[in-house]
Amino acid sequence: MSVSSNVVDVHQEEFERTGYTLVRGLFSTDEAERLRDHYMDVRRRGPQAHDFAGHTSTDRDPLKRYPRMAQMHRWDDVSLQWMIDPRIDQVMTALLGRSPYAVQTMLYFKPPGSRGQALHQDNFYLKADPGTCVAAWMALDRVDEANGCLEVVPGSHRWPILCTEKADTTVSFTDVTVPLPSTGAAVPVEMEPGDVLFFHGALVHGSNPNITTDRFRRALIGHYIQGEAERVAQYYHPALRMDGTELTLEVAEGGGACGEWTETPDGPVALLTGTERTTRKHE
């Protein structure tokens, strides 16, 4: 589908007001199902480049049995074509005023019983400048509170990039979170396969554990930076124009991948890497 100009205006207003907007049915249910099957097949083949954990089929942690994949577009044409799909470009261009640059793909499997991800802000990692990054988060399954849907804090895109504090690694696979001014500030976003949530790089978001016994919460994510950006963290090079061609940007200091796994007495957690852990705020 393409998005009509009237509908785009509604999404643009919502994005500017809340920091996110949900485009329902941007991809068809059949497309979502084919993508889901594709990535399950890729996962069954074993470890892939840029996995966020060793692929261990017998590990007690379900996230080690189904680790996140990242930067698939560098070796998988299905991922590349999704990343630069004209429908995503159309929405992004409407939200940002010009076509973005594409810098990352990720696939979250989130099998039954797995931990969520503590509240965070994406541009803490990407360090896109000037401007920010924007995520396109596509549901490949029905996602709801039971299987750990995204939770977002409306309006937090107007906040600075916040200082981090220690997270509870019994419920989060990452070890840091950001403080909130009040409880209940985060609201769940339930989605159907093919829906895409677009959100600002400063928007505080995360997810709770998947407490189901038989449902995955698979999601395909693209990270983009505003078309006027001049630099981004090293991990995200090379950036791509939305026609798939590469461009050269400067390297932003700090930033890095969204955590890598390490063993702890409480089990495996993903620690920040290549990113400053300081007590000052990053503007």
What's the pLDDT tens digit per position in 246-271?
999 999 987 666 433 345 555 544 44
Supply the Cα-derived Rg of the chain in whole angstroms: 17
| Helices assigned H by DSSP within 58-215 | 62-65, 77-83, 86-96, 123-126
Number of H helices, E strands in the chain: 6, 18
Q: What is the mean pLDDT of the chain?
A: 88
**pLDDT at position 180:** 85
Mean pLDDT within 204-211: 97
Report which secondary-structure segment, H or E, holds 271. strand 267-271
Cα separation, 35 vs 220, in Å, equals 9
- The reported pTM is 0.87
Is the pLDDT at 87 greater than 70? The verdict is yes
Structure tokens at 168: 């509870």
Cα separation, 25 vs 183, in Å, equals 31
Q: Buried b / exposed e across 250-264, counting CB within 10 Å, b at 16+?
A: eebeebbbbbebeee
Structure tokens at 246: 């590469």
**pLDDT at position 131:** 95
Each domain of the chain, given as residue ranges in start order, spans: 5-271
Q: Which pLDDT tens digit goes with each residue over 138-186?
A: 999 999 999 999 999 999 999 988 888 899 999 999 998 998 877 778 9
Domain boundaries 5-271, corresponding CATH code: 2.60.120.620
